[in-house]
Amino acid sequence: MAIVIKCGVSVIAVPFIKVGSVLSEAGVAATGIFVSKNSIEIENQKLKNQLAEVQVAIDRDKVLIQENSELKNLLGRHDKKTSILATVLAKPPISIYDTVIIDVGSSDNVKVGDKVFALGIVPIGMISNVNLHISTVALFSSAGQKIEVRIGKNIQAIAEAQSGGNFMIKLPKGTAVTEGDPISAPGIGAEIFGHVENIDTNENDPFIYVRFSLPVNMSELHFLQIDRTVAS
**Per-residue pLDDT, 119:** 83
Same domain, 5 and 37: yes
- Residue 153 in this model has a pLDDT that exceeds 90: no
2 plus 72 within the same structural domain: yes
pLDDT at 137: 94
CATH code of 192's domain: 2.40.10.350
**Residues facing 125 on adjacent strands:** 116, 139
On the question of pLDDT at 116 being above 70, the answer is yes
Task: Give me the pLDDT at residue 126, please.
Answer: 93
Range of the domain at 136: 79-140+219-231
CB 106 within 8 A of CB 131: yes
Q: pTM for the whole thing? A: 0.62
Cα separation, 211 vs 195, in Å, equals 9
Q: What is the pLDDT of residue 64?
A: 59
Find all residues with CB under 8 Å of 221, minimum gap 6, and list them: 88, 91, 100, 118
CATH number at residue 101: 2.40.10.340
The structural domain count of the chain equals 3
Kindly report the backbone phi and psi dihedral angles of residue 73, in degrees, each rounded to the nearest multiple of 5, phi listed first. -65, -40
Tens-place pLDDT, residues 62-104 = 445 555 665 666 665 555 667 899 999 998 777 777 889 999 9
Both 226 and 208 in one domain: the answer is no
Contact 110, 153 (CB under 8 A): no
